[in-house]
Structure 1
Amino acid sequence: MTGNVWFIIGASSGFGKAMAKEVLQRGDSVVAVSRRGTSLKDLESLGAMLLDLDVTSDDATISAAFQAAIDKYGKITHFINAPGYLLEGPAEGASAKDAFDSINVNVLAVMNLTRLEIAYLRPRGSGYIANFGSVASWYGGPAFGHYVAAKWAVSGFTESVHEEVKEFGINVTVVEPGYFRTEFLNAEGNNRKLVSNTLEAEYKGSRVDMTRKALVEVNNHQPGDVVKGSKVIVDVLTGSDAAAGKEFPIRIMLGRDCINDIRAKMARTEKLIKEWEDISVSTDHDDVQKA
C-alpha cells in the first residue's frame, strides 16, 4: 500500500474506469465517482468506494463528496477530473442550451472542481490534479466545434493552474489522448450527443457529413489502448515506472495519432507565422519598431 487515495470523477467508463482498475491493482485506495457512481458494482467488488455526484452541483455538494472520501480514508492525494461528452453536429444546429450544457459540463465543472481541489490540497502542501483535455485541444474541425472549444479551454486553464500552484507543492497536468478504443463514440452511450438540429439534408456531402461518417467508422477501431494509456497516466501521477526520473509534465499526450496531429498543427502554425510575420509585426508602435 502506498497510502495514495484517488478521487476519480468520471469512473463509469473509459479512462476513468480503466484508471480506477489500474490504481486498485497497485494497492491504492479509490473513490469512484460519477452521476451513477453507486451503480459501479464491478469497481466496488475490486475495493473501490462508490459515490454519486453530478459535476455541475454546487460547492457544498461537491465538498460533501470530498468529505465522505476523507472520512473513510483520511485524505485525498490524487484528483482525476474526467467528466464530459462530445457534442456532435454543425455549429449552426446547436441550440443555446446545447452550447451552454456542453460548456457547463466539459469546462465550467472542471474549473469548479479544480478550484475546490486546490483549496483542499494547498494547506497540505502536496497533491495531484489531472484534468482531461484531448488531441482536440490542439485543432478544430467540422462537426465537433463545441467539443474542441471545451477541450481548448480545459487545456489552457490547466496549463495556467499548473504554473499557479506548483510552488505550493501541487502538481497539475492535462491529459490529452488521441483516439482510444473506449465507449466514448458509442451512439447509444452518454458521451456522444447530437446538436438539437442536425441539418442532415442541408449538410449532406459536406465536411460535416464526412466527419459524422468517419466517427462511425473509427468507433471501436481507434488505435489507442485505454489500459496502456491509463498505466502511463498513473505512472506519471506517481513518478514511477515509465515516468521515473522525469520532470512532472504540464501535459500528458497519449497515442501516436495524438503526437502526429500535434506536430502537424505545429508545422501549420509555423508556416502561418512565416507567411504573415512581416504584416503581424508591422502593427507595433513606431517607437517599438525602431528599438
Structure 2
Amino acid sequence: MNILVTGSSGWLGQFLVPRLRRDGHRVVGLDPAPGATTEVVGSVVDRALVDRLIREHAIQAVVHAAARHKPHIETHDNSEFVAVNVQGTLNLLEASVAPASTVDRFVFTSTTSLMISQRIRDGKGGGAREATWIDETLSPLEPRNIYGVTKRAAEELCRLFNHLHGLPIVILRTSRFFPEEDDMAHAIVQSSENTKANEFLFRRLTVEDAAEAHVAALDRACDIGFDTFIVSAMTPFAREDCRQLIADAPSVVARYFPEYRQLYARRGWTMFDSIDRVYDASKAARRLGFVCRTGFKQVLESLG
C-alpha cells in the first residue's frame, strides 16, 4: 500500500515507518521536523499540502500520529493544540474522502489520557476506595487539559466521517510509550527505569508494540469499519483487585509475581505503594487481534 504517516519524525514514527517499509509498503512520512523517516517536511495544518500529498502519491491508507502532546501544554498556546490536533485531523479526513482520493482506511493515534478526568487523577490522594478500571466503555469522558480535549474532538471527527462517508477508521488510544518521565510524584521515589517497569502492570507499552498495534489496525481497518481500542500491555490484574490496589499495591503484585520482590531488591527498586487506575486492553486482543509482546512478566524476565 501507499501509506501516509503523519508525525513521522516523532518517537512512534521513527519505529512505525521502517516497520511498514519492511512489509513492502511505500511510506510517505510527513512532519514539521526533518528526520530519517520523514520524506516531506510540513504540517497537517497545511490543507493544500495534505491534499497534494494524498493525490500525487496515490495514498491508500493514512496513519495520523501527528499531534501537539501533553508536554507541549507548557510551551504552546491552546490555539495551536486546536490547529494541529483538530484542524489537522479534519484536513486529513476531508482529503481522504475527496472525490479523487484513493484512501480506503484511516488509523488515528489517540491517547488514554483523554479518559482520565480530574476526579480520576486526584483519586488516589483524594480518598478513592479502589483503583479505576478503565476500558472503552468508560463514560462520561471528561478530559482534564487542552491535549485531552482536542484529541477527544479529533476522535469525534473520525466517528463523524465514518458515519457520513463510510471511511474505515480505527482509533488507537495508546497508553504511555514515550521515553520521557511523566509522573513526577513517582519519579521522586523511583528511578525512571523503576517507574516504567512498574507501569507495565497497568499503563505502559513499548514503542515497538505501539508500532505493531498500528500495523494490526491497518490490516484490520476495512473489516472492522469503525472502532476504538485501548492499546497497552495486558494487565495481570482483575477487577476484583481494584480495592486492594489502592490500599496495598505491592501485595497484589506479589500475588501474581512472587519473584518480583527479590528481583527488585537486587536493583534497589520498589513498587508503587498504590495504583489508582488500570487500563484494560482485552478488547484489542479480542477484536483487533493484537496483544503487546512486552508486559510486566517480560520485564521481570529481563531482570533475572
Give TM-score, length-normalised by structure 2. Answer: 0.57
Runs of 4 or more above 3 Å deviation:
141-144, 208-223, 245-249, 256-263
Which residue among 32, 37, 41 is the counterpart of 1:52? 41
Aligned letter for 2:54? F
Q: Deviations over 1:43-82 (max 9, x none)?
A: 4xxxxx711112222x2232233344x2xxxx21111111
Check 1:215–1:114 CA distance in 2 against 1; reply closer, same or farther (3 A cut): farther
Task: Quote how far apart the aligned CAs of 1:148 are.
Answer: 1.4
Check 1:216–1:161 CA distance in 2 against 1; reply closer, same or farther (3 A cut): farther
- How far apart, in 2, do the equivalents of 1:214 and 1:155 lie? 35
Task: Quote how far apart the aligned CAs of 1:211 are.
Answer: 8.6
Task: Quote how far apart the aligned CAs of 1:213 are.
Answer: 6.5
Matching of residue 81 in structure 1 with residue 78 in structure 2: no
- How far apart, in 2, do the equivalents of 1:34 and 1:22 lie? 17
Check 1:146–1:211 CA distance in 2 against 1; reply closer, same or farther (3 A cut): farther
Check 1:107–1:27 CA distance in 2 against 1; reply closer, same or farther (3 A cut): same
- How far apart, in 1, do the equivalents of 2:94 and 2:191 lie? 36
- How far apart, in 1, do the equivalents of 2:186 and 2:77 lie? 19
Task: Quote how far apart the aligned CAs of 1:247 are.
Answer: 3.5
Equivalent residues of 2:12, 2:211 under 8 A apart: yes
Equivalent residues of 2:159, 2:226 under 8 A apart: no
Task: Quote how far apart the aligned CAs of 1:85 are.
Answer: 2.6
- How far apart, in 2, do the equivalents of 1:116 and 1:211 lie? 43
Matching of residue 174 in structure 1 with residue 171 in structure 2: yes
Aligned to 1:16: 13
- How far apart, in 1, do the equivalents of 2:189 and 2:161 lie? 35
Structure 1: stretches of 5+ with no match in the other structure: 44-48, 188-207, 264-291
Q: Deviations over 1:6-46 (max 9, x none)?
A: 11010112222322121111111111111134x32xx4xxx
More helix by share: 1
Equivalent residues of 2:168, 2:224 under 8 A apart: no
- How far apart, in 2, do the equivalents of 1:104 and 1:87 lie? 15
Check 1:79–1:138 CA distance in 2 against 1; reply closer, same or farther (3 A cut): same
- How far apart, in 1, do the equivalents of 2:189 and 2:230 lie? 22
Q: Quick check: 251-260 or 213-222, which moved more?
A: 213-222
- How far apart, in 1, do the equivalents of 2:186 and 2:92 lie? 32
Equivalent residues of 1:20, 1:30 under 8 A apart: yes
- How far apart, in 2, do the equivalents of 1:145 and 1:105 lie? 15
Equivalent residues of 1:162, 1:173 under 8 A apart: no
Matching of residue 101 in structure 1 with residue 80 in structure 2: yes
Give the percent of matched residue pairs that are identical in Structure 1 and Structure 2: 12
Give TM-score, length-normalised by structure 1. Answer: 0.60
Check 1:214–1:174 CA distance in 2 against 1; reply closer, same or farther (3 A cut): farther
Q: Considering only aligned residues, what root-mean-square deviation do their CA atoms show, in Å?
A: 3.7
Check 1:130–1:26 CA distance in 2 against 1; reply closer, same or farther (3 A cut): same
Q: How many residues align?
A: 211
